[in-house]
Chains A and B, each alone.
Chain A
Amino acid sequence: MSIEVSNISKHFGSFTALDNISLEFPSGELVALLGPSGCGKTTLLRIIAGLEQADSGKVLFHGEDASRRHVRERQVGFVFQHYALFRHMSVFENIAFGLRVKPRKERPSEAEIQRRVHELLNLVQLDWLHDRYPAQLSGGQRQRIALARALAVEPQVLLLDEPFGALDAKVRKDLRRWLRRLHDELHVTSLFVTHDQEEALEVADRVVLMNHGRIEQIGTPGEVYDHPASPFVYGFLGSVNLFHGRVHGDHLQVDDHVLALDQHTLSADTQAVAYARPHEVDVVRPEPGATGIPVVIRRILAFGGAVRLELERTGAESKENAGTPIEAEIGRDRLRELGLAEGDQVLIQPRGARVFPVSTAATNQAEKAAA
């Protein structure tokens, strides 16, 4: 079932949680709502579920207005961050709950309930735990049971509120992959809220990036990562280096140095900030004829497939650029080839950096500082 929200606004006192949000979620997709805490993603999810009422705007399920429908009539499956399992019920009874509370006419027979619950337990691969109580399960198992419970009533939509937020890193990774497989099997329209960009990019068909109650960008994981629409998205989807300067044609004048740019639409002589991810930063030895921005190597983090270098600008004149840490990622072979050591002076050449005018970039920086 497709979901559409139109012109949703929500305020808590003077705080604007959602500012005129309109979105469409096509049927059968797995969509991630991604953003920093307080960006309104959870509020939006709760409004779609009917657990919260919007100040204005509509929620449409399959084109029908569901705004006035009560939670229990919306047929949504909701999975909470802290599981919200019923402690006094066994795993089996937790999953059967949604079937047992149905009006007598719609309620399946006991044999049917048995069959359905065991089917769901098999789906989440935890049938052997059916007579346990929630207190006896691990966090990952609890969340899988919570998901099975939500699926028991055959919801039209599955809503997950930071489903893996309370789990440790290893379990998270396993569950992510598992959720993706499960979705491919069931194809129920699913929305999940997360503040973890890796999680969103890895699991979702599409990612909705939110900030301050507004939508920053919508797209497939590849689109939003490769073509961030705003400095906020750039900064939120992984680490990024900033270079302040002035636009001249196809390059940015950063102090005395020249930085090549990706195609852009800014007019000449605009104050701008260039964004480049660590793997887009080349490092070269300061030999005669070599160009680039001079930096000193502070640390070399030589683990994993790529080596990370923590660098610091030297001799930067403008105060925005002075002392800004820069991160570069180079291959192991490249590191050996250059023979770099901590404390060395080198030059960096960002490739294909993207520029944004200073005004939009400034707000992003203020946010980064606040965070």
Chain B
Amino acid sequence: MGATRQILLTRHSVLPGFGLALGFTLLYLSLIVLIPLSATFFKTATMGWGAFWEAVTTPRVLASLRLTFGASLIAALINAVFGLLVAWVLVRYRFFGKRLIDALVDLPFALPTAVAGIALTTLYATNGLIGHWLDQYGIKVAFTPLGIVVALTFIGLPFVVRTVQPVLEDIEAELEEAAACLGANRLQTFVRIILPAIGPALLTGFALAFARAIGEYGSVVFIAGNMPMISEIAPLLIITKLEQYDYAGATAIAVVMLVISFLLLLAINLLQWWSSNRTKSNR
């Protein structure tokens, strides 16, 4: 027992420095992540259990949480499907302007979110370029929950593309050829061979896009319309509470979001750990 512990901690390596690296990592994560986040817990603790429960279970807060997590989930799912498609096209085909499209994918990262929000609102408003056209079919995007999904999809796109792309590039053509020789059709080859291979990366991309969407604020407030109970997201509600000097109330919502997000991401990580463990084996 003691011996295995020893081996784990001081495994020989050409690049030593386990102690220093771990120490720095812990310090760094504490400063950047843990301390600021624990502050929200401390602040929330000042209000007591009863007041906390009351603050986070008002219909308005519950509606905003539902909207935030619901819209983020939908947006992340859309990104998983279409991000995979974009990655597929970028990896598998050669065409004119491929580099340009490749560069375009990262733009949602670079663009200030407010700019994205305003641009999307202009496009999707009932008098906008796309919104005008959609309006004829009775579809309203801007100032509805649908608009929120559009904004969250926009900001989450690069995550899935960039995580799946390298893995897709690494898949050997021979695997597909082997499957074809064994009689598998295209759909079977994709579902049974390619999807499992890119699954972990796709899940990572999905988790990142999902997490990013939960915390998104800048682009959403412009397109959402921010009507309480209908199109008001939780981060906006936090800001509203802050503006009313209700600091404890604001951190209470933050704590609920943190806990839910943490549990969801933990679940995704466990899923990933389980799936990679299955293939990489216990050597």
Interface residues, chain A, CB within 8 Å of chain B?
49, 51, 70-72, 76-78, 80, 82, 84, 86-88, 97-98, 101-102, 132-133, 135-136, 149-150, 152-153
Query: Which of chain A's residues have a CB closer than 8 A to the CB of B183?
Result: 72, 98, 101-102, 153
Known pairs A49-B181, A82-B174, A87-B279 / 20 extra A-B pairs, C-beta < 8 Å? A51-B180, A71-B177, A78-B178, A78-B181, A80-B174, A80-B178, A84-B172, A84-B174, A86-B193, A87-B197, A97-B192, A98-B184, A101-B184, A101-B185, A101-B192, A149-B178, A150-B181, A150-B182, A152-B182, A153-B183
Determine the distance from Cα of A136 to Cα of B281 in the docked complex, in whole angstroms: 7
Interface residues, chain B, CB within 8 Å of chain A?
172, 174-175, 177-185, 188, 192-193, 196-197, 199, 278-281, 283
Residue of B with least CB distance to A152:
B182
Task: Say which residue of B172, B192, B199, B281 sits within 8 Å of A132 (CB atoms).
Answer: B281
Determine the distance from Cα of A150 to Cα of B280 in the docked complex, in whole angstroms: 23
Kindly provide the distance from the CB of B105 to the nearest chain A CB, expressed in whole angstroms.
27
Is there contact, CB below 8 Å, between A88 and B184?
Answer: no
Query: Which of chain B's residues have a CB closer than 8 A to the CB of A51?
Result: 177, 180-181
Query: Which of chain B's residues have a CB closer than 8 A to the CB of A87?
Result: 197, 279
Determine the distance from Cα of A130 to Cα of B240 in the docked complex, in whole angstroms: 60
In the assembled complex, 12 residue pairs joining A and B whose CB atoms fall closer than 8 Å, in A order, are A72-B180, A82-B174, A86-B179, A97-B179, A97-B192, A98-B182, A98-B184, A101-B182, A101-B185, A102-B183, A132-B281, A133-B281
Residue of A with least CB distance to B176:
A84
Kindly provide the distance from the CB of B73 to the nearest chain A CB, expressed in whole angstroms.
26
Task: Say which residue of A72, A77, A135, A150 sits within 8 Å of B185 (CB atoms).
Answer: A72
Q: Which of A70, A88, A102, A150 has the most CB of B within 10 A?
A: A88
Kindly provide the distance from the CB of B187 to the nearest chain A CB, expressed in whole angstroms.
10
Determine the distance from Cα of A51 to Cα of B175 in the docked complex, in whole angstroms: 12
Query: Which of chain B's residues have a CB closer than 8 A to the CB of A132?
Result: 281
Q: SS class of chain B's interface: helix, strand, loop or mixed?
A: helix
Determine the distance from Cα of A132 to Cα of B279 in the docked complex, in whole angstroms: 9
Task: Say which residue of A80, A84, A88, A98 sits within 8 Å of B196 (CB atoms).
Answer: A88
Is there contact, CB below 8 Å, between A84 and B281?
Answer: no
Determine the distance from Cα of A72 to Cα of B172 in the docked complex, in whole angstroms: 18
Residue of B with least CB distance to A72:
B183
Is there contact, CB below 8 Å, between B279 and A72?
Answer: no
Residue of B with least CB distance to A155:
B181
Is there contact, CB below 8 Å, between A97 and B172?
Answer: no
A135/B279 contact (C-beta < 8 A), A80-B174, A87-B197 known = yes
Kindly provide the distance from the CB of B101 to the nearest chain A CB, expressed in whole angstroms.
27
Query: Which of chain A's residues have a CB closer than 8 A to the CB of B179?
Result: 86, 97, 101
Determine the distance from Cα of A80 to Cα of B281 in the docked complex, in whole angstroms: 23
Is there contact, CB below 8 Å, between B278 and A88?
Answer: yes
Query: Which of chain B's residues have a CB closer than 8 A to the CB of A152?
Result: 182
Residue of A with least CB distance to B175:
A84
Is there contact, CB below 8 Å, between B188 and A101?
Answer: yes
Kindly provide the distance from the CB of B184 to the nearest chain A CB, expressed in whole angstroms.
4
Query: Which of chain A's residues have a CB closer than 8 A to the CB of B281?
Result: 132-133, 135-136
Query: Which of chain A's residues have a CB closer than 8 A to the CB of B188?
Result: 101
Determine the distance from Cα of A101 to Cα of B180 in the docked complex, in whole angstroms: 10
Query: Which of chain B's residues have a CB closer than 8 A to the CB of A86?
Result: 175, 178-179, 192-193, 196
Residue of B with least CB distance to A81:
B174
Residue of A with least CB distance to B195:
A88
Kindly provide the distance from the CB of B129 to the nearest chain A CB, expressed in whole angstroms.
45
Query: Which of chain B's residues have a CB closer than 8 A to the CB of A102?
Result: 183
Determine the distance from Cα of A363 to Cα of B182 in the docked complex, in whole angstroms: 42
Query: Which of chain B's residues have a CB closer than 8 A to the CB of A136?
Result: 281, 283
Kindly provide the distance from the CB of B182 to the nearest chain A CB, expressed in whole angstroms.
4
Query: Which of chain A's residues have a CB closer than 8 A to the CB of B197?
Result: 87-88
